[in-house]
Amino acid sequence: MTAEFMGLTEEQKRAFEEQGYIIVKGLFTKQQLEEIDATFQEISERIVPGHFEPELDSETRDPLKRYPRVMHPHRFNDTAMKYMLHKPVMRILEDLYGEPAIAAQSMFYFKPPGSRGQALHQDNFYLKVEDGNCIAAWTAIDAADEENGGLLVVPQTNEYDIVCPDLADAKESFTTHFVKPPKDKKAVPAVMERGDVLFFNGNLIHGSYRNKTKDRFRRAFICHYANSSATKIGQYYRPLYYADGSVAEVDANMDSGPCGVEFQNVYPH
């Protein structure tokens, strides 16, 4: 499967609607993945104020101090912008939305050996897309499994309401929020190979394991999108972009959400 990808099957669309997520293989060529490798290797060796602020000379026990996530790399790097708007990904999003998608956010996680995971959470708690929802496209740059901190998803929670999160265990999660799954739902590992892309609904409860390995990174390029008919999104995600790179005008969503005003300015994603 290459850049000529023609779209999802009806079975795949049904699976996304029922389970809240699907894994699609082959959306990136070997050469494209190597370009992503090289781009973020170069970024990892410097400080980009406001986007990537590692402790380059630190000997801290927390590996995330040396390799924090890169926030919004598309705002300062052309390669990140290009792959946030990657045509096969945008085509799948259009199939899932039933209308074109607009890109809101990019991130790159290095997740080095020994690093903490991210507690279970819901993405649209942060993005606050209205009317509609956000969808994530989570691309495995390294193989991801239970040992190196692969993603956990809670199937069929895509219809679960956005809720105010509890406090996460700081020993296991580098973020502070935790959403407890419903009693009849359990988190399962999304085992992925390099280049696989996991698409999931913004209400789906998901998170990740700690990286328990001694020598394996779990790098991932993660982007979030809204449907083109959406009129509002959290203010930190603007500007948004159409598939051709032009700016999409979407108002800032100032609704404080299910937690009230104390969470109004939260931006942990």
DSSP 99-116: S-EEEEEEEEE---TT--
User: What's the rounded mean pLDDT across residues 67-95?
Assistant: 98
In the chain, DSSP finds a helix count (H) and a strand count (E) of 6, 15
Residue 2 clears pLDDT 80, i.e. is over it: no
Percent of the chain with pLDDT over 70: 94
Residue 163 clears pLDDT 70, i.e. is over it: yes
Q: How far apart are CA 97 and CA 153, in angstroms?
A: 20
User: What's the rounded mean pLDDT across residues 45-64?
Assistant: 91
Percent of the chain with pLDDT over 90: 90
Q: pLDDT tens-digit profile of 14-30?
A: 999 999 999 999 999 99
Helix (H) or strand (E) holding 95, with range, is: helix 87-97
Residue 46 clears pLDDT 80, i.e. is over it: yes
User: What's the rounded mean pLDDT across residues 85-109?
Assistant: 98
For the chain, which residues make up each domain, given as ranges?
10-263
Res. 61 pLDDT band, cuts 50 70 90:
confident
Residue 265 confidence (pLDDT): 46
Residue 263 clears pLDDT 70, i.e. is over it: no
Q: Report CA dihedral (81, 87, 107, 145) to the nearest 10 degrees.
A: -150
Q: How far apart are CA 4 and CA 87, in angstroms?
A: 9
CATH class of 10-263: mainly beta
- Other Cβ atoms less than 10 A from the Cβ of 158: the count is 21
- Count Cβ atoms within 10 A of the Cβ of residue 82 and give its class: 0-12 exposed, 13-18 middle, 19 or more buried: middle
Residue 3 clears pLDDT 50, i.e. is over it: no
Residue 232 clears pLDDT 70, i.e. is over it: yes
Residue 13 clears pLDDT 80, i.e. is over it: yes
* 197 φ, ψ (degrees, to nearest 5): -125, 125
List the end-to-end C-alpha distance of the chain, in Å, as a whole number: 30
Global confidence as pTM: 0.95
Q: pLDDT tens-digit profile of 119-133?
A: 999 999 999 999 999
Closest CA to 64 of 108, 114, 105, 106: 114
Supply the mean pLDDT for the chain. 94
